[in-house]
Amino acid sequence: MKILAAMSGGVDSSVATALLVREGHEVVGAYMKNWINEENIVGHCPWEEDIVDARAVADQLGIDFQVVNLMREYRERVVKYLLEGYQDGITPNPDVMCNREMKFGVLWEWAREKGFDAIATGHYAQKDAQGIFRGADPNKDQTYFLAMMRPEQVQIAQFPIGHLLKPELRDLARDLGLKTADKKDSQGICFIGEVKMEDFLRTFVQDQPGRIVDLEGRVLGEHRGLHLYTLGQRKGIGVASNLYKQAYVVVAKRHETRELVIAIERADTPLLWARRCTLTSISSTGLPLDQPRLLHAQPRYRCPAGLAQFTPLGGDRAELLYEEPQRALTPGQICGLYDGERLLGGAVFESITPE
């Protein structure tokens, strides 16, 4: 096959590319140039060094390498979605949308026009004729970030490293002598770099201060803007622990009054736990999700998927009823939908009914 390998400059995509070359495919490496931090946001945006590292690995493997400038599309499809979501009072997930809109969207369109058969990434996910399955390494599984992919995108996607554990991948990179073998994994917003979300948002969204209140309405402090907080947040609220050294947690955001509601976290903290919610923007990775069924629903990355009853409501909406209460379900976040290890698709949390 003629495969375009999306190379980020990290060890995962480096090994993914190397495995494709070893299998005998015709491989070309490509770096998606999405962001160069023209706004000088506080943080580390390592796009230049990532390109150097990705190109060095491509040279080691003896394959062609290209830098594909997608900065305009990234702002239109990911940054705009991110900023509008926070301004609307929800919590979007740019990493999930980057996969659907950029890697397997715009970049694939670019690749298809040039005659490629598939596009490969360094995601920890596995794929067979039935679809996408969780990666072999439970600590690195990244199928959650693929939940909003469309069926036609799944068909052309390749995940060469999904069968490996992370230590095995590092050892393989060293055996192959890849420059990125010991490079630290990146953290932060997808293809922007090690930039704190708060610093990113404050660059584009004006502060709208308001009161921080408890469940009884007592004023405990002042916040800089509701968009800087998310449900379930424990750190960085700006209110000290109570007299018993119990920390507060965000349980609600009242946009009509600009009030941030916090409470001491307990097993029965009001507003923090929920079983019932409404999903929208349902996206299937294969067969349509148009029938009631029992499935596993993962409300965020690195969170266990809970057993839930999925009931379609028509259109792209459904009701989800978890068997056990879930902590801090958040409007705007992505819900990954699974049948055991198989990724069925995903949706967006539209509304939550607190316990």
CATH number, domain of 117, equals: 3.40.50.620
142, 168, 198 - which closes a domain: 198
| Residue 137 and residue 96 in one domain | yes
Judged against a pLDDT cut of 70, whether residue 61 lies above it is answered with yes
Least confident of 11-25, 83-97, 233-247: 233-247
314-343 pLDDT tens trace: 999 999 999 999 999 999 999 999 999 999
| Residue 166 and residue 254 in one domain | no
Give the pLDDT score at 38.
58
Least confident of 192-206, 217-231, 300-314: 192-206
CATH of the domain at 292: 2.40.30.10
Confidence of residue 167 (pLDDT cuts 50, 70, 90): very high
Confidence of residue 189 (pLDDT cuts 50, 70, 90): low
Q: Are 188 and 94 in contact (CB under 8 A)?
A: no
Confidence of residue 45 (pLDDT cuts 50, 70, 90): low
| Residue 76 and residue 225 in one domain | no
Give the pLDDT score at 223.
95
| Residue 194 and residue 252 in one domain | no
Give the pLDDT score at 43.
52
pTM > 0.85: yes or no: yes
Judged against a pLDDT cut of 90, whether residue 119 lies above it is answered with yes
| Residue 242 and residue 181 in one domain | no
| Residue 228 and residue 315 in one domain | no
Catalytic residue among 45, 98, 277, 335: 98
Dihedral of the CA atoms 93, 298, 13, 114 (nearest 10)?
A: -70
User: Given phi > 0 = left and psi -120 to 50 = alpha, else beta, which region is 32?
Assistant: beta
- Cα–Cα distance measured from residue 18 to residue 67, given in angstroms and rounded to the nearest whole number: 18
Give the pLDDT score at 89.
83
| Residue 189 and residue 328 in one domain | no
Judged against a pLDDT cut of 90, whether residue 196 lies above it is answered with no
| Residue 238 and residue 325 in one domain | no
Catalytic residue among 45, 190, 277, 335: 190
Give the pLDDT score at 42.
46
| Residue 7 and residue 143 in one domain | yes
Question: How many domains is the chain built from?
Answer: 3
Structural domain range at position 218: 206-264
153, 170, 198 - which closes a domain: 198
Judged against a pLDDT cut of 60, whether residue 138 lies above it is answered with yes
- The residue-averaged pLDDT of 293-300 equals 98
264, 288, 313 - which closes a domain: 264
| Residue 226 and residue 288 in one domain | no
- Tell me which residue of 303, 351, 196, 329 sits closest to 251, measured CA to CA: 329
Per-residue DSSP letters for 43-106?
SB--HHHHHHHHHHHHHHHT-EEEEEE-HHHHIIIIIHHHHHHHHTT----HHHHIIIIIIIII
Residue 335 annotated as catalytic: no
Confidence of residue 44 (pLDDT cuts 50, 70, 90): low
End-to-end CA distance of the chain: 52
203-246 pLDDT tens trace: 888 889 999 999 999 999 999 999 999 999 999 998 988 766 78
Mean pLDDT (the chain, rounded): 92
Judged against a pLDDT cut of 90, whether residue 186 lies above it is answered with no
| Residue 120 and residue 189 in one domain | yes
Q: Are 119 and 111 in contact (CB under 8 A)?
A: yes
| Residue 179 and residue 238 in one domain | no
Give the pLDDT score at 148.
98
Q: What are the Cα distances from residue 277, in Å, to 149, 232, 251, 280, 308?
A: 22, 16, 16, 10, 11
CATH of the domain at 212: 2.30.30.280
Residue 98 annotated as catalytic: yes
Judged against a pLDDT cut of 60, whether residue 40 lies above it is answered with no
How does DSSP classify residue 24? T
Give the pLDDT score at 282.
98
